[in-house]
Amino acid sequence: MSAQTLTRPSVRDGEFHHLCPKCGESYATGMEHVDPKILAMHMSDHRPYCPAVAVDVPWVFNDGGRELAGFQGSAGDCVTRAIAIAVGLDYRQVYDELAKRNAAKGGKRSARNGMPTKIATAFLAEHGWAWVPTMTIGSGTTVHLRPDELPGGPVIVRLSKHVCAVLDGVVNDTYDPSRGGTRAVYGYWIPAP
């Protein structure tokens, strides 16, 4: 990035515009000179929309066996679905076990609308899976939902308010949650070595 990009912005509509060093698009800052910290914040905010960064992430529709198990309609069952897909277990079996554990901890006897991470982690550990954190306080995003940043094989990925299965780089879910490969991964579960 040249100093000129930072010190000589164009002015449009009374706003200072700087060029994104990734894609060349301009963005308004409201300031003539941009502090590198502000530029870094912009890049963090701009990344999901930057065509220079976004990629096509392979995705296939997979409900994990929900419909075959007799469930109808939509639900916030991403944890159950991801475990059934990646571990290769029956959807109903996973649903019932997670619901039972959730009720034992004082929660609802349902796995329909979310599941505490501690319950999912304990269940996966019993099936030989290990948690790998990818983000710590203050670290920022280090891994994104894209095949070149995740391990091969089956992976269960934890995102903001969502969990999905990735099998050999292909997202298996009821929709594509990748945001063009820019969605932050908080961590993932993999089969323990």
DSSP 58-97: PEEE--TTTTTTT--S--B-HHHHHHIIIII--HHHHHHH
Determine the Cα–Cα distance for residues 79 and 62; give it in Å rounded to an integer: 13
pLDDT at residue 87, rounded to an integer: 97
| pTM over 0.85, yes/no | no
Q: What is the DSSP code (8-state) at residue 159?
A: E
pLDDT at residue 59, rounded to an integer: 94
DSSP, collapsed to helix, strand or coil, labels residue 125 as helix
pLDDT at residue 41, rounded to an integer: 54
Determine the Cα–Cα distance for residues 163 and 183; give it in Å rounded to an integer: 12
CB count within 10 Å of CB 68 equals 11
DSSP, collapsed to helix, strand or coil, labels residue 143 as coil
pLDDT at residue 135, rounded to an integer: 87
pLDDT at residue 3, rounded to an integer: 33
pLDDT at residue 88, rounded to an integer: 97
Flag residues of the chain having pLDDT under 50.
1-9, 48-49, 51
Give domain limits for the chain.
3-49, 59-191
Q: At which residue do the structure tokens 């391990």 appear?
A: 151
